[in-house]
A and B are shown apart, each in its own frame.
Chain A
Amino acid sequence: MTDTATQPSPSDEHPVPAEEHAHPSEWRYIQIAIALAIVTAAEVTVYYLSLAKLAMVVILLVMAVVKFSLVAAFFMHLRFDSRLFRRVFITGIALAITVYTIVLLSFGVFLTNRHVTPHVNVPSPTASQ
Chain B
Amino acid sequence: MSALATSAATTRTHEATPHATSTGLSNVKLAVWAFLASECLLFGALISTYLLYRGRSIVGPYPHQIYDIPYTSVSSFVLLMSSLTMVLALAAVQRGDTRRMRVWLLATALLGMTFVGGQAYEFTSFVRQGLTLHTNLFGSSFFVLTGFHGAHVTIGIVMLLSLFGLSLRGKLGPENAETVELIGLYWHFVDVVWIVIFTVVYLIPS
Contacts and interface: CB of A to CB of B under 8 A. Distances in A.
A113 B54 CA distance: 14
Scoring A30, A77, A96 by chain B CB atoms within 10 A of each residue's CB, the highest score goes to A96
Interface stretch (B115-123, B148-156, B158-166, B197-205): B197-205
Given A10-B20, A71-B191, A96-B44, A36 B37 contact: no
B41 A14 contact: no
B40 A72 contact: no
Given A44-B69, A85-B33, A104-B48, A71 B56 contact: no
* Chain B contact surface mostly: helix
Interface stretch (B78-86, B126-134, B138-146, B167-175): B78-86
Contacts of A109: 51-52, 54
B88 to A, nearest CB: 6
A92 B77 contact: no
A120 B6 CA distance: 80
B205 A53 contact: yes
B188 interface: yes
* Chain A contact surface mostly: helix
Interface string A54-78: 0011001101100110011011110
A99 B11 CA distance: 44
The interface size bin for chain A is: 35 or more
A56 B203 CA distance: 9
B91 interface: yes
Nearest to A18: B24
A84 B40 contact: no
Contact of B34 (A11, A67, A88): A88
Nearest to A86: B33
Given A76-B189, A93-B40, A100-B47, A33 B23 contact: no
Contacts of B188: 71-72, 75-76
Interface string B45-59: 101100110111010
A95 B18 contact: no
A15 interface: yes
A24 B141 CA distance: 39
B43 to A, nearest CB: 8
A72 B73 CA distance: 20
A14 B91 contact: no
List the 10 shortest-distance A-B pairs measured between CB atoms, nearest first.
A92-B37, A96-B44, A33-B84, A64-B199, A100-B48, A92-B40, A96-B40, A15-B24, A88-B33, A16-B18
